[in-house]
C-alpha cells in the first residue's frame, strides 16, 4: 500500500515539472517578440530645388558648307595645285583648265574694247549714230561677260575657306563632267542636325546654347548654338531637327564624327531625393520610396521620376515637401514596420 502511494507521488512531481517548463518557454517567446529591435534607417527631408531640364541626343558632325569644284564644260586639266587634306582659303586657285578658249575670249574682248573707244570719239564728233554706238557697246559687254565666264571655268578657285576632302582627277586628265575635280568642306564652323523629341518642340528656340562631346576626342567639350529649327516632324520617330552650329576654331571636330549633344531646356522647381532612396518594385516597372510617418512607421509611396542629375532623382509625383524619405537601411523594410531614425 505504501509503495503505491509513493508511485503516485512521483508521477505527480513529474507532471508538475513538465507543466512548469512549458509555461516558462511561452513566457520567454513573448518577451523576445516584445523586445524585437527596430531597424535603423537614415532619412532625408523631401524639398524643392531647381532641376536643370536637359536632354541628351546623338548626332553626327557635318561640314557647314560642301562645295564641288568643277568647270561647267568638259576640258583638259592643266594644273592641280592642292591635295586631299590641304586647308585652303577662300579665293585660292585650286586647279586650272586648258586656256585656249580663255585666251581667244581675252583677245576678242580687247579688240571690242578698242573699237568701242574709237567709235566713242566718232560719236562725240557726229561721225556715227547713237544706234550704231549702242550696238557696238552691247557687243563689247557680251564679250566681257563671255570672258569672265570662261575665266571662272578655267581658273577654278575655292568659294570658301575649308579643307580638301576629295580629288577625283590627275593633272592632264580630261574632265568628263561625271565627278567634281575637288570637294571642299568648310569645317570652321561645323554643324549638327540634332533629332529632338516633338514633346520639346516649344521649349527649343533659335539662339539656345548647347554642349557636345565627341567619342573620338574624350575629355573635351564644345559649345554650340541652335541656328535654325526644322518646321516638320519625322512621322516614324516623332522628332524634329534642330541645326546646331559649332565654331570649331581649332578644327578638332571633323565631318562624320559621332557626337553626343546636351540641350538645356531651362530649370524646373521640383522635389528631389537621392537616387539611393528610389526602389524598383519587383515584377513591375514602377518606382517607390519608403516614407517615415510621425509615429515612426515606414510607409511605401509610389513615385514618378523625372530627370536624373548629380546623384539625385527629380520626383514629378508621389511625394510632398517635408516627407521624411529613407535613404539608407531600407533594403529589408516592410510597410508598417517601426524603425529607428539615425543621423
User: Are 210 and 113 part of one and the same domain?
Assistant: no
Judge whether residue 176 has pLDDT over 50: yes
Distance (Å, whole) CA 114 – CA 20: 140
Give the chain's domain count.
3
Average pLDDT, integer, range 1-29: 46
User: Are 259 and 293 part of one and the same domain?
Assistant: no
Distances (CA, A) of 220 to 6, 217, 263: 99, 6, 17
229 in a domain, yes or no? yes
User: Are 87 and 172 part of one and the same domain?
Assistant: yes
Percent of the chain at pLDDT above 70? 89
CATH number reported for the structural domain that contains residue 234 in this entry: 2.40.30.170
User: Are 158 and 252 part of one and the same domain?
Assistant: no
Determine which helix (DSSP H) or strand (DSSP E) holds 190, and give its type and residue range: strand 182-197
Judge whether residue 258 has pLDDT over 60: yes
Distance (Å, whole) CA 218 – CA 212: 11
User: Are 331 and 278 part of one and the same domain?
Assistant: yes
pLDDT of residue 283: 66
User: Are 98 and 155 part of one and the same domain?
Assistant: yes
Judge whether residue 12 has pLDDT over 80: no
User: Are 317 and 226 part of one and the same domain?
Assistant: no
Residue where a domain terminates, one of 242, 266, 290: 266
19 in a domain, yes or no? no
CB-based contacts of 271: which residues, under 8 Å, 6+ apart? 46, 47, 48, 314, 315, 319, 320, 321
Residue where a domain terminates, one of 150, 179, 208: 179
Judge whether residue 121 has pLDDT over 90: no
Domain enclosing residue 150, as ranges: 71-179
Query: Residue 31's pLDDT band (boundaries 50, 70, 90)?
Result: very low
Global pTM? 0.67
Distance (Å, whole) CA 81 – CA 140: 33
Residue where a domain terminates, one of 124, 156, 179: 179
CB-based contacts of 216: which residues, under 8 Å, 6+ apart? 257, 258
pLDDT, tens digit (0-9, with 9 covering 90-100), for 57-114? 999 999 999 999 999 999 999 999 999 999 999 999 999 999 999 999 999 999 999 9
User: Are 306 and 252 part of one and the same domain?
Assistant: no
User: Three cell numbers at 107?
Assistant: 583677245
Query: Residue 1's pLDDT band (boundaries 50, 70, 90)?
Result: very low
11 in a domain, yes or no? no
Distance (Å, whole) CA 247 – CA 11: 103
φ, ψ (nearest 5 deg) of residue 100? -60, -50
CATH number reported for the structural domain that contains residue 292 in this entry: 2.40.420.20
Amino acid at each position: 500500500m505504501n509503495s503505491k502511494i509513493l508511485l503516485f507521488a512521483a508521477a505527480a512531481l513529474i507532471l508538475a515539472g513538465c507543466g512548469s517548463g512549458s509555461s516558462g518557454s511561452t513566457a520567454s517567446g513573448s518577451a523576445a517578440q516584445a523586445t524585437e529591435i527596430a531597424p535603423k534607417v537614415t532619412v532625408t527631408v523631401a524639398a524643392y530645388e531647381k532641376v536643370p531640364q536637359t536632354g541628351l541626343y546623338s548626332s553626327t558632325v557635318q561640314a557647314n558648307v560642301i562645295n564641288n569644284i568643277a568647270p561647267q564644260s568638259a576640258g583638259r586639266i592643266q594644273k592641280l595645285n592642292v591635295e586631299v587634306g590641304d586647308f585652303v582659303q577662300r579665293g585660292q586657285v585650286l586647279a586650272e583648265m586648258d586656256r585656249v578658249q580663255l585666251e581667244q575670249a581675252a583677245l576678242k574682248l580687247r579688240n571690242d574694247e578698242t573699237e568701242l573707244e574709237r567709235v566713242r570719239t566718232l560719236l562725240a564728233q557726229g561721225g556715227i549714230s547713237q544706234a550704231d554706238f549702242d550696238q557696238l557697246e552691247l557687243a563689247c559687254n557680251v564679250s566681257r561677260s563671255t570672258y569672265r565666264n570662261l575665266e571662272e571655268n578655267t581658273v577654278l578657285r575655292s568659294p570658301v575657306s575649308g579643307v580638301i576632302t576629295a580629288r577625283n582627277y590627275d593633272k592632264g586628265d580630261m574632265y568628263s563632267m561625271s565627278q567634281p575635280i575637288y570637294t571642299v568642306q568648310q569645317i570652321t564652323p561645323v554643324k549638327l542636325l540634332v533629332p529632338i523629341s516633338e514633346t520639346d518642340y516649344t521649349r527649343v528656340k533659335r539662339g539656345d546654347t548647347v554642349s557636345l562631346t565627341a567619342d573620338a576626342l574624350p575629355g573635351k567639350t564644345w559649345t554650340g548654338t541652335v541656328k535654325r529649327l526644322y518646321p516638320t516632324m519625322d512621322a516614324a520617330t516623332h522628332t524634329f531637327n534642330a541645326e546646331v552650329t559649332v565654331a570649331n576654331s581649332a578644327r578638332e571636330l571633323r565631318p562624320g564624327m559621332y557626337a553626343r549633344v546636351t540641350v538645356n531646356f531651362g530649370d524646373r522647381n521640383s522635389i528631389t531625393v537621392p537616387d539611393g532612396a528610389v526602389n524598383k518594385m519587383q515584377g513591375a516597372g514602377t518606382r517607390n520610396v519608403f516614407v517615415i510617418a510621425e509615429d515612426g512607421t515606414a510607409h511605401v509611396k509610389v513615385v514618378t521620376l523625372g530627370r536624373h542629375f548629380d546623384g539625385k532623382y527629380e520626383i514629378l509625383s508621389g511625394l510632398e515637401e517635408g516627407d521624411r524619405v529613407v535613404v539608407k537601411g531600407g533594403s529589408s523594410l516592410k510597410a508598417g514596420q517601426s524603425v529607428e531614425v539615425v543621423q
